[in-house]
Amino acid sequence: MSLFRRDKTRFLVINLLRGLAWLGVIVVAFVLIKKLVDKHYLAWIEPLVNSPALMYLLFYASEQIFGLIPPEIFMIWGLRNGNAQEFILTVFFLTVISFFAGMMAYFLGKYLYGTKLYDFLFRRLWKGLDEKLHRYGPLLIIVASLTPLPYSGTCMLVGSVNYPPAKFFLYSLFRILRFAAYAPVIWQANVM
């Protein structure tokens, strides 16, 4: 195996392990909070979680702009009624929103390229992504789709370098795999 191929494989494996570790942290925190925290202490958050439109809007904003709130938190929100069909529907909507937000970030990257806002985002928030895109090419899109690597930042970067839209959309389909793989884990954590 060539050195370059090993580097790509290492990049993929390390980021997948980070994603699994992050999922593990979220699941353990969820189980502990569920078992140890009195529900009355969380009553202050009920107006937010009881408004699906507000939660979906918050998720879209997170996915579109910074991705600071992990999608798994919103999947946990999807467990609120304990109904499997409702959970699956919620995860489906979250997947569609995330994929759409990535597409919008791609076009936003095309539009914002060369502006002060673009420079700020890549100097402060997504430093090093451009080097990773140059080094790993489409693998960066796949890894960002599957792991905690900044998905929206990657999408903006890819759009800014005029990466072919059809290829970008194809590689971004891996985002669906993340939701499909993580949802059963979160569902099982709920029944623990």
Report the range out of 22-31, 98-107, 126-135 with the highest average pLDDT.
98-107
Q: Round the CA-based radius of gyration of the chain to a whole number and report it.
A: 18
Q: Which letter does DSSP use for residue 66 in this model?
A: I
Inter-residue contact 102 to 175 (CB < 8 Å): yes
Query: What percent of the chain stands above pLDDT 90?
Result: 40
What is the pLDDT at residue 116?
87
What is the rounded average pLDDT of the residues 48-70? 86
One DSSP character per residue, 67-122 reads --S-HHHHHHHTTTT--HHHHHHHHHHHHHHHHHHHHHHHHHHHHHTTSHHHHHII
Q: Which pair of structure tokens corresponds to residue 83? A: 């109904």
Residue 169, φ and ψ in degrees, nearest 5: -60, -40
Is the predicted pLDDT of residue 165 greater than 60, yes or no?
Answer: yes
What is the pLDDT at residue 186?
93
pLDDT tier at 32 (50, 70, 90 boundaries)? Answer: confident
Alpha carbons 74 and 56: distance in angstroms, whole number: 9
pLDDT tier at 174 (50, 70, 90 boundaries)? Answer: very high
Is the predicted pLDDT of residue 1 greater than 60, yes or no?
Answer: no
What is the pLDDT at residue 173?
96
pLDDT tier at 188 (50, 70, 90 boundaries)? Answer: very high
